[in-house]
Amino acid sequence: MLKKITELHDMARGHSRRKLALAAAHDAHALEAVINACKNNIVSGIFIGDEQKIREIAESKGFDLSGFTIINEPDNAKAAALAVKMVRDKDADILMKGNLGTAVLLKAVLNKEFGLRTGEQISHLAVFELPTYHKLIALTDAAMNIAPDFGEKVSITRSAVAYLQQLGIKMPKVAILSAVETVNPAMKSSMEASAIAKMCDRGQIKNCIIDGPLAFDNAVSKKSADLKGIMSPVAGDADLLVADDIDAANGLYKAFIYFAQAKCAAVILGASAPIVLTSRADTDETKLNSIALAAAVNQK
């Protein structure tokens, strides 16, 4: 059972250091995040971007670039393609977004010729350390898929479960969220939650325990579940929350951080390697945690 975000840092340090390819590395925030992760022995960094701008940023910020590989490619799209190819060719283990649009990076990731396609839906997984919960809890999808259909939701769930397994959670407990804990034909979220749970029961989604529909309180509070007479191995002990759409997930994500003072880490899944997309609004701690989450998995 993982209880602290810092355990992800320890896991990342516990094996050979992963190589992170930063696409369009001429970005002060991303550069600082990777350099900080390198100082903490979490990853080693490869910077792909406008070398002159990278060195200007480093000089102005006092960053030491000794020991880092720098590949000069001023064009953002080409820098993204180079970074993706490095990951595909196993010259890097993690892909990270620098000073370029998310759409530009994902276009390279999904390129049929040299990309990192796996057949699964590209999705966002966040992991939180909450002072009011007894272990780390994950949430998907708060950033990538606006209104996933049933098949996409199954794929998102499958990817998140596989990642948690790589973090050592052998049988993740998954709560498919709805506003209610009973199946209501008028509520799409409850119908889909029930179907996904049944797929797990019949072995169509493996190596996890899924229950749904579960309202948020039932998923995280055993007391709430008991009061409602819900008998479930997931209730009050969820490892993963799967929200119905981006509005629900994003609201939970930000409530955890701003109201519950959660510590957070996040990665993009669905590609053949983890992808780090940090925001300028993210704290330095969150950026470091996200790189650690990407580096902690036991990659094959």
172 and 209 Cβ atoms separated by less than 8 Å:
yes
Phi/psi at 144 (5° precision): -110, -55
Q: Which residues, at least 6 apart from 227, have a Cβ–Cβ distance to it below 8 Å? A: none
| pLDDT score of 67 | 87
Q: Classify strands 263-269 and 94-97 as parallel, antiparallel or unpaired.
A: unpaired
Q: What is the average pLDDT across 279-297?
A: 92
| pLDDT score of 44 | 95
| pLDDT score of 1 | 87
Question: In this structure, which topology does domain 123-263 adopt according to CATH?
Answer: Isopropylmalate Dehydrogenase (3.40.718)
Res. 279 pLDDT band, cuts 50 70 90: confident
Q: Which residues, at least 6 apart from 151, have a Cβ–Cβ distance to it below 8 Å? A: none
pLDDT, tens only, 114-144 = 999 999 999 999 999 999 999 999 999 999 9
81 and 111 Cβ atoms separated by less than 8 Å:
yes
Q: What one-character-per-residue DSSP string does the chain give?
A: ----THHHHHHHHTSSPEEEEEET---HHHHHHHHHHHHTTSEEEEEEE-HHHHHHHHHHHT---TT-EEEE---HHHHHHHHHHHHHTTS-SEEEE-SS-HHHHHHHHT-TTTS-B-SSPPEEEEEEE-TTSSS-EEEE-SSS-SS--HHHHHHHHHHHHHHHHHTT-SS-EEEEE-SSSS--TT-HHHHHHHHHHHHHHTTSS-SSEEEEEE-HHHHH-HHHHHHTT---SSTT--SEEE-SSHHHHHHHHHHHHHTT--EEEEEEESBSS-EE---TTS-HHHHHHHHHHHHHS---
In CATH, the number for domain 6-117+271-296 is 3.40.50.10950
Res. 282 pLDDT band, cuts 50 70 90: confident
Sign of CA dihedral 223, 129, 164, 80: positive
Domain range summary for the chain, segments of one domain joined by +: 6-117+271-296, 123-263
| pLDDT score of 300 | 52
| pLDDT score of 278 | 85
Q: pTM score, two decimals?
A: 0.95
C-alpha span between 81 and 88 (Å, rounded): 10
